[in-house]
């Protein structure tokens, strides 16, 4: 930490290292306005106040919670103007709903993969397993012929009886 300005400051590399980001991320956040453009030292180096490390840590934590950089920027901007961020609760609730939807999707994927393993599937396109839950061959046939089977994935085609 140097003290040539009106108090202690950190150079770019120090901030990046302490916050666990790379220099490109630091510059990008600066361009986006997430962190303030720093003062310059007499030697022309960027001189960041120590609180920049805390702010970067908060930004990274918010991203891990699923907030986009645009959302983080809005929340930070509101806080910088000295206003509380009452919509933080609503945004967090919306993120919970998004996470729940992703969990549901991943659960569906996990179930399908478990079925593939349990059934003993051996190919995506020409599976010899009689109970194959993956209808890729059926779907490919349907797409090339233009007809649809109307059956659930993994179900065998029903016999068509003449009327």
pLDDT at 77: 81
Residues 16, 76, single domain; the answer is yes
Measured distance CA(98)–CA(69) in Å, rounded: 16
pLDDT at 133: 83
pTM equals 0.64
Question: Are 79 and 104 within one domain?
Answer: no
Report the CATH number at residue 71: 1.10.1660.10
**Tokens linked to 47:** 């001189």
pLDDT at 160: 43
pLDDT, tens digit, for every residue of 21-73? 999 999 999 999 999 999 998 889 999 999 999 999 999 999 999 999 999 99
pLDDT tens for 123-162 read 877 888 888 887 765 555 555 565 544 444 444 444 444 4
Judge whether 1 lies within some domain: no
DSSP annotation string for 86-118 = THHHHHHHHHHHHHHHHHHHHHHHHHHHHHHHH
- Full domain range(s) for residue 47: 12-85
pLDDT of residue 142: 57
Report how many domains make up the chain. 2
Angstrom distances, CA of residue 7 to CA of 36, 39, 48, 49, 137: 16, 11, 10, 8, 69
């Amino acid at each position: 930490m140097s003290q040539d300005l009106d108090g202690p400051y950190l150079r770019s590399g120090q901030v990046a290292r302490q916050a666990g980001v790379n220099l490109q991320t630091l510059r990008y956040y600066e361009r986006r306005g997430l962190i303030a453009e720093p003062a310059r030292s007499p030697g022309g180096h960027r001189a960041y106040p120590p609180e920049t490390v805390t702010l970067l840590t908060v930004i990274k934590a918010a991203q891990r919670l699923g907030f986009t950089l645009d959302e983080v920027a809005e929340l930070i901007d509101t806080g910088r103007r000295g206003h509380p961020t009452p919509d933080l609760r609503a945004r967090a609730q919306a993120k919970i709903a998004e996470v729940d939807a992703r969990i549901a999707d991943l659960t569906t994927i996990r179930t399908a993969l478990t079925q593939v393993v349990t059934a003993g599937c051996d190919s995506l396109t020409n599976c010899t397993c009689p109970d194959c839950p993956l209808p890729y061959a059926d779907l490919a046939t349907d797409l090339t012929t233009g007809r649809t089977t109307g059956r659930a994935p993994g179900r065998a085609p029903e016999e068509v009886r003449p009327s």
